[in-house]
Structure 1
Amino acid sequence: MDSRNFLTFSLCLLLIFVNKLKTSASSFGFDPTRVTQLSWTPRAFLYKGFLSNDECDHLINLAKGKLAKSMVTDNISGKRVDSEERTSSGMFLYKRQDDIVANVEAKLAAWTFLPEENGESLQILHYENGQKYDPHYDFFHDQKALQIGGHRIATVLMYLSNVKKGGETVFPMWKGKTTQLKDGSWSECAKQGYAVKPRKGDALLFFNLHPNATTDPTSLHGSCPVIEGEKWSATRWIHVRSFGRSFKKQSECVDEDESCEKWAKNGECEKNPTYMVGSETDHGYCRKSCKACSS
């Protein structure tokens, strides 16, 4: 094949690829014209109107009545522990829980160009007055966490409600060339770096790793305290590899997290049965503490 034919062949392949992307994007309601690049340090992008009002309300309704105190991952042990740094409440859905959840997950894959199977289950979070999450990293420090899917390469925060004041997502180590101007509508917390206001339906995508796969310290981020109103959000953490654990036989009475016993005492078996006990399509991680199988 000569160079002219090779160029023609390459252009044809490119056109086919672009058309497939357009078809895939349109089928999930993905509109790239709504995406704005916010920052390169860290790499952050805002998709205005990523979720419809109905999708936002549906995700909130799935979580109501099943919320528990949010936990954090200990940097040394990798265990889930309670912390005053994070005072929200939340719960995990399970993957493709219903048609709406499945569509949201597919849209996320189409937007981020990251495989759907690399994502964790959606976590729904609720912040009441004064509740917050201090600045932290989403990439891991402990080797145990890295064994399951590797680092979290990207994070998507989907805002499910408007907040009258506060509740912004802030990047304290942002390194932009110009200062982000903020008036009195911003909280003092938001003035400590580049910040994004929670708007119902909007989605914020940022990368925790550099393109060379090293961790990005400028991805440090936090959720500012809610000052007026309440904040609902959905988080999707996306790993560098397919995310999942080795499945135990459902007949085995085992706990796969050190906090299972504590969570069970707090009523999580009833509040979040899909994660704790499992279902026909999802694996339960705390079957022993929930007394869901014979010992």
Structure 2
Amino acid sequence: MARWRARRLLPLVTFVTLGMILGSLLQLAFHHRLDGYSLHADSDPEAGLLRLGYVKPEVISWTPRIIVFHNFLSSEECDYLMAIARPRLQMSTVVDVATGKAIEKRISVFSQIPKENGELIQVLRYEASQYYRPHHDYFSDTFNLKRGGQRVATMLMYLTDGVEGGETHFLQAGDGECSCGGNVVKGLCVKPNKGDAVLFWSMGLDGNTDPNSIHSGCPVLKGEKWSATKWMRQKMTF
């Protein structure tokens, strides 16, 4: 009986594994294609909009899936987002779709998720000693799933330089150690460099929420950390 069950289970496991590998390879090939496409950026009207030739993807983890996009935003775009958010800044500030149109499209192209599936960009500011506790971006309740379904992925964009601490800490990524607000912790930590963005998935390739996507905002030791966050859903949100 056990041998019969094993024979039935093996094709399913093989199918799921091959699907995960194929999905990962296709995603990596897409980012290589974007990088190679920079050779023709000067002749493409949308090259500037997508910052082809400037944005450099770096896969830092497959479980959970995390990609750092270096130079995702220009310095001017970072300053612009802070400028429109500063007068009305509270806990978080929403950037409307019209003013963030170019950035919205760039997020959609690099994440391969339709922009209609995204929530509005939110801008946050962290001052010295402020941090964000470990959490998941996916929902655990049914109320928030009614409009747009589950959160699939997050694009976290850094708007300021010269910040000490303030790293984004992925607690279950990698098998090494990193610096989080001056403390050595297990996992992966991404330093908040102006213009860089971190794309990570809250759902796995199997369509289920990924508990390994748990992350936190490390304490800021010096300076101000400004960030802009875009959460993307399974379905259209607006």
Say whether the fold is shared (TM-score over 0.5): yes
**How far does the alpha carbon of each residue in 1:236-285 deviate from its partner, in whole angstroms, 9 at most, with x for none?**
000011113xxxxxxxxxxxxxxxxxxxxxxxxxxxxxxxxxxxxxxxxx
SS in 1 for 2:185: helix
Rounded Cα–Cα distance in structure 2 between residues aligned with 1:47 and 1:229: 23
Match of 1:48 among 70, 82, 86: 70
Match of 2:221 among 201, 220, 227: 227
Note if contact 1:169-1:190 (Cα within 8 Å) is conserved in structure 2.
no
Give the alignment's Cα RMSD to 1 decimal: 2.2
How do 1:69-218 and structure 2 match up within 5 A?
89-96=91-98, 98=99, 101-174=100-173, 176=174, 178-180=175-177, 187-189=181-183, 191-218=185-212
Q: Which amino acid aligns with 1:179?
A: G
Rounded Cα–Cα distance in structure 1 between residues aligned with 2:225 and 2:68: 18
Rounded Cα–Cα distance in structure 1 between residues aligned with 2:108 and 2:63: 23
Note if contact 1:163-1:226 (Cα within 8 Å) is conserved in structure 2.
no
Task: Give 1:190 shift.
Answer: 6.0
> 1:264: which partner in 2?
none
- When normalised by structure 2's length, the TM-score is 0.77
Note if contact 1:170-1:190 (Cα within 8 Å) is conserved in structure 2.
no
> 2:7: which partner in 1?
none
Match of 1:240 among 228, 234, 238: 234
**How far does the alpha carbon of each residue in 1:180-214 deviate from its partner, in whole angstroms, 9 at most, with x for none?**
455xxx53456242110000000000000001210
Larger CA Rg, structure 1 vs 2: 1
SS in 2 for 1:64: helix
Task: Give 1:151 shift.
Answer: 0.8
Task: Indicate whether 1:62 and 2:84 are aligned.
Answer: yes
With over 3 angstroms needed to count, the CA separation of the structure-2 counterparts of 1:30 and 1:147, relative to structure 1, is: farther
Comparing both structures, which one devotes a greater share of its residues to strand?
A: 2
Comparing both structures, which one devotes a greater share of its residues to helix?
A: 2
Note if contact 1:30-1:107 (Cα within 8 Å) is conserved in structure 2.
no
Indicate the larger mover: 157-166 or 146-155.
157-166
Unaligned runs of 5+ in 1: 1-17, 69-88, 245-295
Note if contact 1:170-1:196 (Cα within 8 Å) is conserved in structure 2.
yes
> 2:56: which partner in 1?
34
Task: Give 1:31 shift.
Answer: 4.1
Note if contact 2:139-2:150 (Cα within 8 Å) is conserved in structure 1.
yes
**How far does the alpha carbon of each residue in 1:85-126 deviate from its partner, in whole angstroms, 9 at most, with x for none?**
xxxx32111112x2xx11001111111111011111110000
**Relative contact order: is structure 1 or structure 2 higher (C-alpha 8 Å, sep ≥ 6)?**
2
Rounded Cα–Cα distance in structure 2 between residues aligned with 1:60 and 1:242: 27
SS in 1 for 2:105: helix
> 2:30: which partner in 1?
none
Note if contact 1:126-1:230 (Cα within 8 Å) is conserved in structure 2.
yes
Rounded Cα–Cα distance in structure 1 between residues aligned with 2:55 and 2:94: 30
